[in-house]
Amino acid sequence: MQITFFGTGLMGTGFVRRLLANGHAVNVWNRSPAKARALMALGAVAFDDPAAALAGAERVHLSLDLENKFWQSMMDNDADAATKLLNEPALMVSSYGTMKFDHDSYRKMAEEGPMVLTSFELNDVEVHFPKDATAIVTYRGKQTMAPRGQKGGKVQEMNDTSTWIKAGESWQCAMHTEVPAEKKGSAH
């Protein structure tokens, strides 16, 4: 089977090694091309262009390094790490409305906001590259939010979309949307 794998960091490399060991043909792409090229010695075909890596793919896998880093930065309350991953300005749409924020206003929200993220899980991930320098990631997120300074929190299931753009050699999130997920079996 021809498989394309996006994201060949530590976790993605392990997946690619296993796929190759099981006899699959694997195309790889990574935002740091050297990491993808390192897998060529094992039989993977590395691409600098994510769209080209998709050619002939029967299945696509994605290691969500960027999205996970951003969510982890929120959970760790690490505004420095988060702002390195955010375009300036960035946009957000949620059930609370629309927001446009720069790095300073994001930092203030992260450090002083009334709610904090205490856990997260990303599932049912899909990625689309409409252009080489644009990635749209959709997924179902399960997140736990708690009042700042308190343990536990309320579990929320959300449908999320993040739009990432390549700025120089790095990728930045330019827009994020989230809406509450409907309960399974509910009518529209």
The answer to whether the bond into 147 is cis (omega within 30° of 0) is: no
The pTM assigned to this predicted structure is 0.70
Question: Do residues 9 and 93 both lie within one domain?
Answer: no
Indicate if the pLDDT at residue 161 is higher than 50.
yes
Residue with tokens 């409409």: 130
| Mean pLDDT of the chain, nearest integer | 87
pLDDT at 69: 87
Residue ranges making up the domain that contains 146 = 65-180
Instruction: Work out the burial of residue 145: count CB atoms within 10 Å of its CB; fewer than 13 is exposed, 13-18 middle, 19 or more buried.
Output: middle
- Band of pLDDT at residue 11, cut at 50, 70 and 90: low
- Residue 173 forms part of a structural domain: yes
Q: Please give the tally of structural domains in the chain.
A: 2
Closest CA to 101 of 86, 89, 115, 119: 89
Q: CATH no. for residue 37?
A: 3.40.50.720
Question: Do residues 50 and 114 both lie within one domain?
Answer: no
Question: Do residues 57 and 127 both lie within one domain?
Answer: no
pLDDT (tens digit, 9 = 90+) per residue, 45-75? Answer: 999 988 889 888 887 776 667 788 899 999 9
Question: Do residues 137 and 166 both lie within one domain?
Answer: yes
Indicate if the pLDDT at residue 186 is higher than 60.
no
